Amino acid sequence: MTVILGGTSTTEMSLRSVELSGLTGLQRSSCLEKLMAKSVTYEPRDGISQIYLLFDNLEELVGQEVSYSDLVTLRLPLKTVNWTGCFALTVYDTPVLNISSMYGLEE
């Protein structure tokens, strides 16, 4: 299942807490100009090898039970350099996860 954040008339979203589990994709509506979240927790399952964090600002990211999934890459957008406030990253049981800094060609 793929979840699309935002809609045709939504230009800004501010989320307190987002929990993602069992998704094969996460997308951002093309109309969404600003997407912010305080906390995102992901529990990837089979079928997703890459998570792209499409937020304009994010304070906390938690990955749980990653070893039970196909996830190997966690991508951050170029906008990450503009994130404000503190940022906390917590990852559990991730033997093959790549979180290196790398810019995507489509950005």
3-state secondary structure of 78: helix
* pLDDT value of residue 98: 73
- For residue 24, give its domain range: 2-91
Higher pLDDT, 85 or 32: 32
Residue 98 lies in a domain: no
Where is mean pLDDT largest: 30-39, 47-56, 94-103?
30-39
Q: How many domains does the chain have?
A: 1
Percent of all residues in the chain with a pLDDT value above 90, rounded to a whole number: 30
Answer for the pair 43, 68: CB distance below 8 angstroms, yes or no: no
Which pair of structure tokens corresponds to residue 62?
A: 């938690």
Q: Are strands 88-91 and 25-28 parallel, antiparallel or unpaired?
A: unpaired
Give the side-chain half-sphere CA count within 13 A for 99.
11
| Residue of 10 and 89 predicted with greater confidence | 10
Residue with tokens 């990253």: 89
Residue 104 lies in a domain: no
